[in-house]
Structure 1
Amino acid sequence: MIRDDIKAALVTAMKGGDKQATAAIRLIQAAIKNRDIELRTGTAPADDDVLVSEVLQKMVKQRRESITLYRQGDREELAQQEESELAVIERFLPKMMDEAEARAAIDAIVADLGASGPKDMGRVMAELKTRHAGQIDMSKASGQVKAALAG
């Protein structure tokens, strides 16, 4: 489980004296804990990896936005700090599908659901999220689903 990998990485970073990685991993753990509290679960849910992946993807998106803003504001030292955190966070994300794999997954779901037009986009996106959450960039997938349903 991803949660266990994160705990092990924290111990390794602390023993190795890697302060940046330790700080970033603690941020990850805090974000996951906040999500657990939001869901009011005493124990980890059955699909814990999906939950953790969602939290990590949200953190990645935040870091990328911050990097862009810091660079626009000519704050290179802050952008570099965000990039180092981003690198640590991305270590724990499952391998993302490339564009061809994503297109194949979308085409399979369209065929399985018998989706025929733009009105079926919501169903296709929901099924895509169910089957491939954490493996596909949902913002890019949206455009691919539109293209698949239009063509």
Structure 2
Amino acid sequence: MSLIVRLEEELKQAMVARDETRRDALRLILSSLRSAEKELQRPLHDDEELQVLQRERKRRLEAAEAFRGGGREEQAAGEEQELAVLEEFMPAPLSEDELEEIIDDAIAEVGATSIRDLGRVM
């Protein structure tokens, strides 16, 4: 199931539950994804959807920080609630151990032994 379809289903559930905060956050996310689709004039790939979500996540973090800096805790809390909804649809970040394992596998696959081999590892 594509991300947009999942978001639309979640939006319907939020509307039925009368959860205004979640409904509004889902509408913003859907709007961003649809705008990106219109800009590219084609459906988004999974990695492009993730980029849009990451961009929206960054915006929410920056907005919450700016509101806090201005002493507007209520607006900052609203941004953080939207951020929590947004993060439900993002993949879980890799743990440090998982990341190290992937890097070690790449190094072993290439047979890198020195810093000069870094380009091949990448």
Q: TM-score category by the smaller chain?
A: 0.7 to 0.9
Aligned-residue sequence identity (percent) comes to 33
Structure 1 counterpart of 2:63? 66
The answer for unaligned runs of 5 or more in structure 1 is 125-151
Cα separation, 2, equivalents of 1:80 and 1:13 = 19
Question: Runs of 4+ in structure 1 displaced over 3 angstroms?
Answer: 110-123
> What is the TM-score of this pair, normalised by structure 2?
0.83
Residue type of the alignment partner of 2:13: T
Q: How large is the RMSD of aligned CA atoms in angstroms?
A: 2.2
Aligned length: 120
Residue type of the alignment partner of 2:33: I
Cα separation, 2, equivalents of 1:36 and 1:118 = 41
Q: Per-residue displacement from partner, 1:60-112 (whole Å, max 9, x unpaired)?
A: 11111221222122110110010010011011112221121122223323443
Cα separation, 2, equivalents of 1:88 and 1:99 = 24
Residue type of the alignment partner of 1:18: D
Structure 1 counterpart of 2:87? 90
Which one has the largest radius of gyration? 2
The answer for unaligned runs of 5 or more in structure 2 is none
Say whether the 8 Å CA contact 1:70–1:79 is kept in structure 2: yes
Say whether the 8 Å CA contact 2:67–2:75 is kept in structure 1: yes
